[in-house]
Structure 1
Amino acid sequence: MHCRLFLFTFVLLSGITRAYGQTDTAQQGPFAFNLANCIQYGLAHQNDVVNARLDINFSREQIKEATGKLLPHADVNASFTDNLKLATSLIPDLTNPTSGVRIPVQFGTRYASSVTGQVNQTIFNSDYFLGLKAAKVYGGLAERTYKRTEIDTRVAITKAYYAVLANEENIRLSKANMEQLEKTLKDTKARYDVGVAERVDVDRIQVSYNNVVTDIETQIRLLVYTTQLLKFQMGMPQEAKLDLTESVQDLNVESFIADTVDYQVQDRVEYGIQTTQIALNQLNLKSKKMAYLPSLNGFVNYGWNYFSANFGDLYKTGFGASALGLTLAWPIFTGTERLHQIRQNKITLEKSENDLSYLSQQIKLEVTNANTQYLNNKSRFVTQKTNMGLTQGIYDRIVLKFEQGVASSLDVISAESELKQAQVDYVQALLNTLISKTDLDKAMGKIK
C-alpha cells in the first residue's frame, strides 16, 4: 500500500533536486533546526548563494574598473640604440654647388638613448562614459540574480524540509498501526492458546504485522535519504547531524490562506532582471549612436635624450624635451557598418521589450495554475484527513468486534488495509498541499 507514496516521494524529490554543491564548514552539529533555521543556514552556506555573492563583488570591481578608465594614465618609455654602422647620406658639395657632385656623410652618433614619461587624460570618450553606466546597470543585474538564487534556494530547502516532515509523519502513523496490530496479534495468540481462535486468524494478522514492520524499515531508509537531500540543499556536510524541531502538526496546514488578489508581476525577481536587460540593451544602442562623436584626450610628457660616440660617455650629458597637447579622433565615415549595427541593436531592444510583456503574461498564468493546484490539493488534503479519521474509527470498531468474536480476521485485515491506504493518501495530499503552497508563493513573488 505504501509503494505509491514511496514512488511519489522519489519522483518529487528528483524534481526538486538541483545541481547544488556544498560549501564545507567545520561545524558538524548536532543541529536542531526549524524551517527558518534551515533557510538561514542555507543562505549562508549553499554553494550557489555563495557564488552569487561573489558575482556581486565581481560586478563592483567591474564598476571600479570602468571608473579607472577615466582617471589619468601614466607610462614611462625608455630606449637604447647601438648604431653599429651609421647610415650614410649624400649631400651636395657646398664648396662647388654647380659641380653636381654628391658627398657621402654620416649623421648621428653610434650610441643613443632616451627616457620619456607621459601622462594621458581622457577628456571625452563616449564609450568610457557609457561603459561606466553599463557597469553600474550590470551591478544591479548581479544583485537581482543573487536575489533569484536566494529565492530558488529558499524554495528548494522548503520543499526538501516538507518532504522530511511528511516522511516522519508517515513513520509515526505506521508505528501506531504496528502497535495496534501487535496488541491484536498478542490477543489472538492468547485466544488461540485457549482454543477460542483459529490458527488461520493468527497467521493472517501476523502477515499484516510483518508487512507493517517492513514498511517502517523502508520508510526509515527513505527518511535518511530525504534528510540527506535537505542537508544537500542547505549546503550542510552530509556527516553533520540534523534534527528538525517541527512536525506537520506545527504547520497547521488547514489555516493556510492563498490570496492572489493583491500580487503584482513586478514583485517577481524575473521581472526586475528583464527590465535590467532592457536597460543594458538601451545603453548598447546609445553606445553605437554616440560612436559618431569624436574622442578627445590630453597629454603631457617630459624626457631626456642622450648621445655619445663612446658608450662610457653616453649618460654624462642629457638633453631635455617636453610637450603638452591634445589629440582628437573623429570617425567621419566608416562605411555603413555602424548604421547596420545601430539597426541590429534597435531590433534587440524591441525583442527584449516584447519579452517583458510576454513575461508579464507568463507570470499571471503561472499564478493562476499554481493557485488552482494549491486549492485542489488543499481540498483533497482536508478530505483525506477526514477519511483517515473515519477509517481509523472503522478499524477500531472492527478490532473490538473481532475481540468479541462477532467479526472475522478477514474483517480486521481488510480494515487495516483500508486504514493504511487512507494514511498513504493523507500523507501524499499533505505533501502535495505544502509543495503547491510553496509554488504559489514563489509564483506571486512572496518569497523574498
Structure 2
Amino acid sequence: MHRRIFLLFFLFILTGETVVYGQTDTLSPINYAFNLANCIQYGLQHQNDIVNAHLDVAFAREQIKEATAKLFPHGEIDASFTDNLQLATQFIPDFNGPDPTQLIPVQFGTRFASGVTGQINQTIFNSDYFIGLKASRVYKDLSQKNYKRTEIDVRVAIAKAYYAVLTNQENIRLSKANMEQLAKTLKDTKARYEVGIAERVDVDRIQVSYNNVVTDIENNIRLLVYAVQLLKFQMGMPQEANLELTETVQDFNVQEYIEDTINYHIQDRVEYGIQSTQISLNELNLKAKKLAYLPSLSGYINYGWNYYSQAFADLWKRGFGSSALGLTLTWPIFTGTERLHQIKELQITLEQSRNTLNYIGQQIQVEVANANTQYQNNKALYATQKENMGLTQGIYDRIVLKFEQGVATSLDVTSAESDLKQAQVQYVTALLNTLVSKTDLDKAMGKIK
C-alpha cells in the first residue's frame, strides 16, 4: 500500500508539474527499443514544444530579412480617373471689359482627366531602420536561447519520466521475488498442515500475505503501463507505439555519481543568457529613442502621364509626360517633453533588467546549493536503504528457514515479510529521489545542454 501511494503521488506530481505538451500521431503502431539517450533524441525531434520553438527561430530569421528589406528601394504605381461632372467655378478680373476690376465667373479644365505615375523611393538615412535591423538580430539570438531552454526542459521531463518507468519495473521485480518466496512458503505450510504439523492459522496468515503481494503486483503493473504512457507523452511519441526500455536501474550506479558544485559557472544557465540578451534589447530600445532626434532622409524619382479630354472616348488618345527627382528631409525638432519622459522610462527599464540579471545570478547559486543538498541527502539515504533492504532480506530468509524447521511462527514470517516490503518501498523511493535530484542538480548547474 505504501509503495502504491508513493508511486501514484510521484506520477501525479510529474504529470502536474513537468509535463510538456506532446504532439499526437496517427501512424500505425511501431516498435521501439530505446535507452535514455534514444528517448531524449526522439523527444528533441518530435515533442510539440520543441517543434514550436524551432518555428520561433525560423520566424526570427524572417524578421531579420524583413528588417533588411526595408532598406531596399520601394516602388509603387498610382493611377487615377476623374469625371468632373461640374467643373469648379472661379472668379477672375474682366481684362477685356471696360472695368478690369469687375470679376467674372470662369471654369478651367476638362470634364475627364486621368493619370498614371510610377515612383521609386529609397531610404538614405533613418535611425529606426538601422536600429531595427540590429534589434531583429538580437531577437533571433533570444529565440535561439528560448529554443535551448525548451530543449533543456524536454530533456529533464523525459529523464524523470524514464526513471519513473525503471523504478516501477524494479518495484515489480522485487514484488515478484517476494511472491515466489511466499508461494513456496505457502505450499510447504499447506503440506505441513495436511500432515498435522502446522496449524490452520499459519496457512491463513501466509495466504493473506501472498494475496496482498499478488494484488500489489497487479496494481504496480497498471502503474507501469501509465508510467510508460507518460514517458511517450513527454517524448511526443504516439500512444499506439510500443516502447521497450533497454536499460534497468542497475545500469545507473547512482553511488558513483560525483558532482563538482564549486567550479561551475552561472553563465552556463540558459536563463542567465536569456536575461543578458534581454538587456541588449533594452539597450537598443533606449538607443533608438535617443536617435529619434536625428533627421531622416529619403530620395525619390518618378515618371507619369496625364490625360485630359472633354469626351470620354478621346481621353487616352494623348498623354502629357511628367517626371521628378527629389529628396525628402524630415527632422522632428520639437515634440514637447514626451520623448524625454520616454527615454527616462527606457532607462529605468534597462536598470531593472540589469538588476534582474544580478538577481538571477544569485538565484542560480541558491538553486545549486539546494539541489546539491537534496542530491547528497537522497544519495546517502539511498545507500542506507539499499543496505537495509539487503539486511531485511537476510532476516526474512532466516525467519522462513526457522519457520520451516518449526522454531518460528507464521506470525514471525508475515511480520518479516511486511518489514521486507517496507524496506523495498524505502529503497525504491530513495532510488527514484536520487535519480531525480541528480537531474535537478545537473539542470541547476547548467550541465544539461
Tell me the distance in 2 between the aligned counterparts of 1:254 and 1:188: 40
Per-residue deviation, 1:387: 0.4
Please give the root-mean-square deviation of Cα atoms over the aligned residues, in Å.
1.2
Taking structure 2 as the reference length, the TM-score comes to: 0.98
Change (3 A) 1:68 1:97: farther
Segments of 5+ residues of structure 1 without an aligned counterpart are none
Tell me the distance in 1 between the aligned counterparts of 2:342 and 2:6: 57
Q: Which residue of 2 aligns with 1:13?
A: 14
2:22–2:235: 8 Å Cα contact kept in structure 1? Answer: no
Q: Which residue of 2 aligns with 1:89?
A: 90
Per-residue deviation, 1:238: 1.1
Q: Which residue of 1 aligns with 2:362?
A: 361
Q: Deviations over 1:73-101 (max 9, x none)?
A: 00000000111111122221212463532
Per-residue deviation, 1:7: 4.2
Percent sequence identity over aligned pairs: 73
1:141–1:273: 8 Å Cα contact kept in structure 2? Answer: yes
Per-residue deviation, 1:28: 2.7
Tell me the distance in 2 between the aligned counterparts of 1:430 and 1:203: 34
Q: Which residue of 2 aligns with 1:409?
A: 410
Q: Which residue of 1 aligns with 2:211?
A: 210
Which amino acid in structure 2 is aligned with residue 36 of structure 1? A
1:16–1:159: 8 Å Cα contact kept in structure 2? Answer: no
Q: Which residue of 2 aligns with 1:80?
A: 81
Which amino acid in structure 1 is aligned with residue 178 of structure 2? N
Q: Which residue of 1 aligns with 2:437?
A: 436
Segments of 5+ residues of structure 2 without an aligned counterpart are none
Helix, strand or coil: the match of 2:347?
helix
Q: Which residue of 1 aligns with 2:72?
A: 71
Bigger mean CA offset, 395-404 vs 104-113? 104-113
Per-residue deviation, 1:133: 0.5
Bigger mean CA offset, 17-26 vs 124-133? 17-26
Which amino acid in structure 1 is aligned with residue 130 of structure 2? F
Tell me the distance in 1 between the aligned counterparts of 2:152 and 2:279: 22
Which amino acid in structure 2 is aligned with residue 341 of structure 1? Q
Which amino acid in structure 2 is aligned with residue 403 of structure 1? E
Q: Deviations over 1:188-215 (max 9, x none)?
A: 0111111111111000000000000000
2:174–2:424: 8 Å Cα contact kept in structure 1? Answer: yes
Per-residue deviation, 1:18: 2.2
1:75–1:119: 8 Å Cα contact kept in structure 2? Answer: yes
Helix, strand or coil: the match of 2:262?
coil
Q: Deviations over 1:335-385 (max 9, x none)?
A: 000000000000000000000000000000000000000000000000000
Equivalences for 1:28-107 in 2 at 5 Å?
28-96=29-97, 98-107=99-108
Q: Which residue of 1 aligns with 2:323?
A: 322
Which amino acid in structure 1 is aligned with residue 248 of structure 2? S
Aligned residues: 448
Q: Which residue of 2 aligns with 1:174?
A: 175
1:304–1:320: 8 Å Cα contact kept in structure 2? Answer: yes
Change (3 A) 1:103 1:434: same
Which amino acid in structure 1 is aligned with residue 181 of structure 2? Q
2:8–2:223: 8 Å Cα contact kept in structure 1? Answer: no
Equivalences for 1:45-444 in 2 at 5 Å?
45-96=46-97, 98-444=99-445
Q: Deviations over 1:249-304 (max 9, x none)?
A: 01112211121122100000000000000000000000110000000000000000
Bigger mean CA offset, 270-279 vs 246-255? 246-255
Tell me the distance in 2 between the aligned counterparts of 1:145 and 1:24: 25
1:23–1:45: 8 Å Cα contact kept in structure 2? Answer: no
Which amino acid in structure 1 is aligned with residue 105 of structure 2? P
Moved over 4 A (4+): none
Q: Deviations over 1:116-140 (max 9, x none)?
A: 0000000000011100100000000
Which amino acid in structure 2 is aligned with residue 6 of structure 1? L
Q: Deviations over 1:213-249 (max 9, x none)?
A: 0000110111111111100000011111111010000
2:21–2:48: 8 Å Cα contact kept in structure 1? Answer: yes
